[in-house]
Amino acid sequence: MVDLKHLVKKLSQFKILLASDIKQETINDIDENSLIQKIIELRNVAIENSSTENNNAKKLELLKNDDIERIIYSIKNEKLPRPIQSSIAGEFRSEVAGIEEKFSVDEKEIPKVTSIDDFTKYFKNRLEKIKRILDKKPSISFLNNIEEMQKNKYLSGREIAIVGIVSKKIITKNGNIMVELEDETDIAKVIFMNKQGMNTNLFKDAEKLVNDEVIGVKGKISNPFIIANEIMWPEPVIKLKKNFEDDFSVAFISDIHAGSKLFMEKNFQHMLKWINGKTDGNTEIAGKIKYIVIAGDIADGIGIYPNQDKDLQIQDIYQQYSLFFNMLESIPDYIHVFVMPGNHDATQRAEPQPPFDSTIIKDFKKTNVHIIQNPSYITMNGLEVLSYHGTSLDSVIAAIPGLTYSRPEIAMQELLKRRHLSPIYGGNIIVPGIKDNLVIDKTPDILHMGHIHKNGLVNYHGVKILNSGTWQAKTEFQIKQGHIPTPCKMPVFNSKTDRFTIIDFAIS
């Protein structure tokens, strides 16, 4: 549910005002982010056209109830991506074979722990990077550090705003939430009141705070506490639709689990044939694929969980990878493939994970296949994609109320909001280097993950959040946990339509 006051405030950041005739009922059952995004999209279109047409752009600055109703109607009637249907096979001709590939992968140094001192440096770097993002928020000025409150002997009643790492969160005797916010100078005790009917959204937001995330808080000093009235997350500002020069597509894959009895090899092979235009049906989408990004859990591995050997088709780890690399041989040379590891894979388990080394790759060599780190920031003909396997999603789903395995994209949204791929330290294994390379300092066009084995897609502030599911059938373990995977559904993004099409290879 969208809170009208909150919406007014959010839109005012983009210089868009809402008329006083807007009713709460109008916006009751719409997602706030989709609404904001659509309003901004329309405003930008209006600005683009305003040089030739009348001044539509001006008119959109103040939105009335009618306008909002119209916008909500159009959001609700937007087409969702649909699986393609079989049609007559034509002769396959790749349209993108001739397009020049222009890609780059942001290679960061994989950190190594050298001393216990690195711990402090790691969190200091996380705080610095995220504070820089928060400092850009309009109309708010944070204290330089928490110590300033004491140094300047601020009295009770004074309004302040601070940034810090959540180092502790408890429920007090009175049912309020007390959070300790820490920086390198001091610790502040922040209270989120649990008052019925009053600022209940703030309390609900506070319930979602997790250890080690960096937030901004505005509140009133009530010594020795701060009574919070607002939480500020380093969430990205609205990302606008890009205009790409080339018409090309990117296919997204995760969690192949080669070597598992449950790896759906036939379906995967069918997909590879489809990419080559060698199947019945629509070859138009396949013909535009220029890139494939594979976000980890390439092989099933060995000894990843108790009694895994019973679930393995291939007991030898090297042969699991041979199966995978052999399959890649059939991908045409004009398609560039990026391969990163996940938590099942044979590389350093702690994140960031280095790329597979030569013991795994062996003599496989194809110049169009790129072996990269987890996570990686990949730019493809102007399209910016941040791919991460998604191991941290387990701890995030467990820690934040309301998140479930059935909607991985919402959990991913919480990560983007916090600008961190793995905010809860210790939730999964991280190497605390001098730099925190898991901070999302550049907002991508697409945030891509796997690990949950469930497809998901949501638009958050203009960033397309995608979980590309799996190629492994439902495991015994998942049945016990009540997880419902969605195998063999491959999302394909097209640069011109700005949309995903989900190609369903589940039945083949």
In the complex, the residues that contact Zn ion under the rule CB under 5 A are 297, 342-343, 451
Question: What is the closest distance, in whole angstroms, from the C-beta atom of residue 258 to Zn ion in the complex?
Answer: 13
Q: Which is closer to Fe ion, CB of 126 or CB of 344? A: 344
Question: What is the closest distance, in whole angstroms, from the C-beta atom of residue 296 to Zn ion in the complex?
Answer: 6
State the Cα–Cα distance between residues 176 and 194, nearest whole angstrom. 5
Q: Spell out a b/e string for 276-302, using b for 16 or more CB atoms within 10 Å of the CB, else e.
A: bbebebbbebbbbbbbbbbbbbbbbbb
Question: What is the closest distance, in whole angstroms, from the C-beta atom of residue 180 to Fe ion in the complex?
Answer: 35
Q: Which is closer to Zn ion, CB of 219 or CB of 342? A: 342
Q: Which does 279 bind (CB under 5 to 8 A by kind): Fe ion, Zn ion, none?
A: none
Q: Which does 343 bind (CB under 5 to 8 A by kind): Fe ion, Zn ion, none?
A: Zn ion
Q: Which is closer to Fe ion, CB of 188 or CB of 339? A: 339
Q: Site residues (CB under 5 A) for Fe ion?
A: 255, 297
Q: Which does 413 bind (CB under 5 to 8 A by kind): Fe ion, Zn ion, none?
A: none
| Alpha carbon separation from 468 to 122, 161, 223, 256 (Å, rounded) | 31, 39, 49, 11
Q: Which is closer to Fe ion, CB of 297 or CB of 351? A: 297
Question: What is the closest distance, in whole angstroms, from the C-beta atom of residue 453 to Zn ion in the complex?
Answer: 8
Q: Which is closer to Zn ion, CB of 322 or CB of 392? A: 392
Residue 164 · residue 215 · CB < 8 Å: yes
Burial of 122 (0-12, 13-18, 19+ CB in 10 A): buried
Q: Which is closer to Fe ion, CB of 37 or CB of 395? A: 395
Question: What is the closest distance, in whole angstroms, from the C-beta atom of residue 153 to Fe ion in the complex?
Answer: 54
Calculate the CA dihedral of residues 146, 14, 130, 183 and round it to 10 degrees. Answer: 10
Q: Say which residues have a Cβ less than 8 Å from residue 403's Cβ, sequence separation at least 6.
A: 396, 397, 410, 411, 414
Find, among 225, 166, 201, 233, the residue nearest to 4 by Cα.
201
Find, among 25, 23, 28, 24, the residue nearest to 1 by Cα.
28
State the Cα–Cα distance between residues 349 and 359, nearest whole angstrom. 16
257: left (phi over 0), alpha (psi -120 to 50) or beta: left
State the Cα–Cα distance between residues 250 and 170, nearest whole angstrom. 44
Degrees, nearest 5: CA angle 368-371-376: 110
Question: What is the closest distance, in whole angstroms, from the C-beta atom of residue 343 to Zn ion in the complex?
Answer: 5
Q: Which does 131 bind (CB under 5 to 8 A by kind): Fe ion, Zn ion, none?
A: none
Q: Which is closer to Fe ion, CB of 182 or CB of 255? A: 255
Q: Which is closer to Fe ion, CB of 212 or CB of 297? A: 297
Question: What is the closest distance, in whole angstroms, from the C-beta atom of residue 110 to Fe ion in the complex?
Answer: 22
Question: What is the closest distance, in whole angstroms, from the C-beta atom of residue 282 to Fe ion in the complex?
Answer: 29
Residue 406 · residue 135 · CB < 8 Å: no
